[in-house]
Amino acid sequence: MKKVLGTVALTMALAGAAVAHDDVANEAVKARMMLMEGVKTATGTLGGMAKGEIGFDAEKAGTARQALIDHAAAIPAAFMAPEMDPKSTALPAIWENWADFEAKAAAMGAAADALDTSDLAWLQTGMGALGGTCAACHKAYRIKK
């Protein structure tokens, strides 16, 4: 039952993100943005637990961890075509430095895979490495907000 509720919550979060991206004309960019919203949602769940803002739940943490692993694996395919849209925050540097971009996506997947979500203390220990991979990619390949 908990797994079903977690899946429903994730689906609702992604549906909300879909509405937020309705004004994006390029469908490839919209799909990319939805993928990154999934990363944001899963990271927010884990970060919230690590900071004590959300009660620790090993099952929800494991679901978020797996979502990050899956999303990281999907990032290269989602960004392969150099599609742009005025609402996109992707920098052209992605396609100019493709091998590095792919390596950064793989690093995020590896950091997520290394997270031990069975215990709050272990989750807290691994969040720095995960956050570092996000920051490294955003610094190089995302327009500053």
44 Cβ contact list (under 8 Å, min separation 6): none
75 Cβ contact list (under 8 Å, min separation 6): 35, 105, 108
pLDDT of residue 145: 76
pLDDT of residue 15: 47
pLDDT, mean of residues 110-135: 96
pTM reported for the whole predicted model: 0.83
Residue 21 pLDDT exceeds 70: no
pLDDT, mean of residues 104-112: 98
Q: Which CATH number applies to 2-141?
A: 1.20.120.10
Question: How is the chain split into domains, by residue range?
Answer: 2-141
Residue 5 pLDDT exceeds 60: no
CB 34 within 8 A of CB 43: no
Residue-wise pLDDT for 62-97, tens only, equals: 999 999 999 999 999 999 999 999 999 999 999 999
Residue-wise pLDDT for 8-20, tens only, equals: 444 444 444 444 5
| Helix segments in the chain, DSSP class H | 2-20, 27-51, 58-79, 93-96, 98-114, 120-141
pLDDT, mean of residues 9-32: 67
User: Could you give the C-alpha distances from 15 to 22, 36, 38, 117, 132, in angstroms and in order?
Assistant: 11, 13, 10, 26, 27
